[in-house]
Each structure stands twice: as C-alpha cells, then as structure tokens.
C-alpha cells in the first residue's frame, strides 16, 4: 500500500493560513450584508426571513432624542415599492437589544414594517423599513453603540386592516444591505450598517476555497 507523505507545516505557515481564513471571513461578511429569503406573494402572505442574528455598529449619532431606531433592508432590484402600505409583523416577531452609552433600553419587539416611499439619504422606494412602536422612551443613538437584531421573519398580508394577500412578484433571495436610521418612521440619516453575526454557508465555502488555495501555494513553495 502506497503511503502518503505529509508535508510538515511550520508555525509561520499555519499562522499565515489562519490569518488568510480570518481575512476572507471578515471581508466576505462585510461585503455581503445579510441574506434574506422571500416566500409567498401572488395572492398569499409574504414572509421575509433571515436565519442568523444581525449586528449593527453605529458610526453616527442622532444629535437629538429619537423615539427608537428604524431598521432598513435595501438594494432590492425592483424599481417599485415591495409593499405599498404599512402592516403589522405577524408570527414570532424579531427582537432587538442594544448596548452602549446612549441606546441601552432593554429588549424591544419589532411590530411594524412597510416599504419606504421616500428618498432620504440612501433609502429607496423599494426598501423594507421596520421598527418597534412599543419603544416609546426617547433614546439618543450614539456612535459606538451596538444593536443586535435576532434571527426572525417579517410577515405581511397586503394591508394593515385586511387579510388580503400580496399580489405582486417577490424580490429574489440573496444578500441585501441593511442599516439603522434615526427614529420611528424616519430615514434622514444612515447611522450604521449591519451584517449577519453567523456567516451563511456560501461564506464558509468561500473561506474554505481560500484556505485550500493558500495551502496549495505554500506546499508548492515547500517542495521548490
């Protein structure tokens, strides 16, 4: 039986490989934002889901008291609004918590979302906007604060007062940008972008590919 000789891996090479994996993971997560899936439509309830928590780090401050943060999903390719009216969140609603100097006000449950019909800052007509109307205490959102939005889903039945289904076509599943804006139902300022806390399977695949490539390059040099 033919034995396969293993090439010894130096500490320096191992450290380089680990650094390459970490860099690939961080860069991929930052670039991709959050992976959303869309189900329903064409006469039935719409469901927007994300499978892992989303972490937002604020890079800007409100400067004034805000009712609560507004979360935005954007970069949908359609040119028209996904949802034309405001609706309550159905099912098990996602929650958010915050840590930091100005934003710590306990755990809040998301209960309202809709599509923006405004063009303030980087928000577009087809963005999905959602927030917690129960969070009534004024909160000064401060740079450096961290918000964590739990894994969950938003469900929409067509309007806030009827059970009619959504008749339009759905956006494609994929990666979308997400950020926090200032206040309840306002979108004047992008205060900080978010990304999935746990990478999607495709991220791990890219990370593994980079690791294999790095190992192949190192092994070729070791044999030279």
Does residue 82 lie in a domain region? yes
CA 25 distance to own-chain centroid: 16
Taken in order 23, 24, 27, 30, the sign of the CA dihedral is negative
Does residue 131 lie in a domain region? yes
Percent of the chain with pLDDT over 90: 4
**pLDDT reported for residue 93:** 76
Contact present, 211 and 219 (Cβ < 8 Å): no
Residue range(s) defining the domain that contains residue 183: 34-197
Percent of the chain with pLDDT over 70: 42
Does residue 38 lie in a domain region? yes
Does residue 92 lie in a domain region? yes
Q: How many domains would you assign to the chain?
A: 1
Give the model confidence (pLDDT) of 58-106 as tens digits. 888 776 555 577 888 876 554 445 555 556 666 667 888 888 766 666 6
Does residue 148 lie in a domain region? yes
Give the model confidence (pLDDT) of 41-64 as tens digits. 777 777 888 999 999 998 887 765
Does residue 156 lie in a domain region? yes
Contact present, 197 and 54 (Cβ < 8 Å): yes
Does residue 101 lie in a domain region? yes
Does residue 9 lie in a domain region? no
pLDDT > 70? residue 148? yes
Tokens of 185: 């139902």
Tokens of 19: 């650094």
């Amino acid at each position: 039986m033919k034995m396969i000789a293993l090439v010894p891996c130096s500490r320096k090479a191992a450290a380089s490989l680990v650094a390459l994996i970490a860099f690939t993971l961080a860069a991929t997560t930052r670039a991709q934002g959050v992976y959303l899936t869309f189900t329903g439509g064409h006469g039935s309830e719409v469901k927007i889901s994300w499978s892992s928590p989303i972490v937002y780090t604020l890079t800007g401050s409100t400067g004034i008291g805000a009712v609560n943060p507004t979360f935005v999903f954007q970069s949908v390719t359609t040119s028209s609004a996904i949802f034309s009216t405001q609706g309550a969140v159905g099912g098990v609603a996602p929650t958010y918590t915050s840590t930091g100097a100005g934003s710590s006000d306990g755990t809040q449950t998301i209960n309202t979302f809709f599509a923006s019909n405004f063009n303030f800052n980087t928000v577009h007509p087809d963005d999905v906007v959602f927030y917690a109307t129960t969070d009534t205490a004024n909160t000064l959102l401060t740079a450096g604060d961290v918000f964590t939005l739990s894994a969950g889903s938003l469900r929409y039945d067509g309007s806030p007062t009827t059970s009619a289904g959504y008749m339009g076509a759905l956006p494609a599943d994929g990666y979308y940008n997400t950020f926090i804006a200032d206040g309840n139902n306002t979108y004047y300022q992008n205060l900080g972008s978010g990304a999935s806390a746990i990478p999607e399977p495709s991220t791990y695949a890219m990370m593994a590919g980079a690791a294999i490539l790095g190992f192949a390059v190192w092994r070729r040099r070791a044999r030279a």
